[in-house]
Structure 1
């Protein structure tokens, strides 16, 4: 998946915004003002994963610890095009869900992330 593909997947999720806090060559995808994925200037992709996914992806060599964000269980893919599109899209959706779950109930409701009862 290339930069445009990552953008298409991320921006299709509810409440997502695209910002450039690290310069125009970095795309930061946020939900509720909190990042869940970043595409770097050279095309590398970093995103949030669960604790278990972090261990599996790092131990199997499928991903590297993300610079500056590994302590928060983020992984880095030097070339996201090496991954099957569907699998990467699933990881991005999980990253979105992990970050969205940490938002307040009010923030999730405002973003349309809560299911009506």
Structure 2
């Protein structure tokens, strides 16, 4: 599966409980409980935007092909370009982690309604 295509991106994201899609900001946006957790941009070079921890932000932005996400950077969001030196498994990890971080900010009631169980940390 190629996560940097709409078909691959959707196939992976649909597996996560309570997700929905909307096309906005010239991108294909995935939300959980109406909160953005990732988006796919398919311009000159495909890119995926995810939320990450402070530590991951520092590590990822040091890599070629990864940078602060425009309009999201203040909240520790990164833009991963298809050319970044990350394996598909690593991109899946960061997509899943972004989902977990955003879902954790939802109310307990909404998480229950959406069938979301967060990993024990």
TM-score range, shorter chain: 0.7 to 0.9
Q: TM-score, normalised by structure 2?
A: 0.83
**Alignment correspondent of 2:33:** 32
Superposition TM-score, scaled by structure 1 size = 0.86
Aligned position for 1:79: 82
Aligned residues: 113
User: Following the alignment from structure 1 to structure 2, what is the Cα–Cα distance between the partners of residues 80 and 31?
Assistant: 27
Contact map agreement 1:45 1:80 (CA 8 A) in 2: no
Show structure 2 runs of 5+ residues with no match: none
Matches within 5 A, 1:1-117: 1=2, 2-3=4-5, 4-23=7-26, 26-42=27-43, 43-61=46-64, 63-79=66-82, 82-114=85-117
Deviation at 1:91, TM superposition (A): 0.8
Compute the RMSD of aligned alpha carbons.
1.9
Choose between structure 1 and 2: higher strand proportion. 2
| 80 and 12 in structure 1: CA distance in 2 versus 1, 3 angstrom threshold | farther
The answer to which structure has the higher helix fraction is 1
Deviation at 1:14, TM superposition (A): 0.8
User: Residue deviations 1:25-74, cap 9 Å, x none?
Assistant: x1100000000111113122111111111011113446200011010100
After TM superposition, where is structure 1 displaced by more than 4 Å over at least 4 residues in a row? none
Q: C-alpha separation between the residues in 2 aligned to 1:80 and 1:50?
A: 22
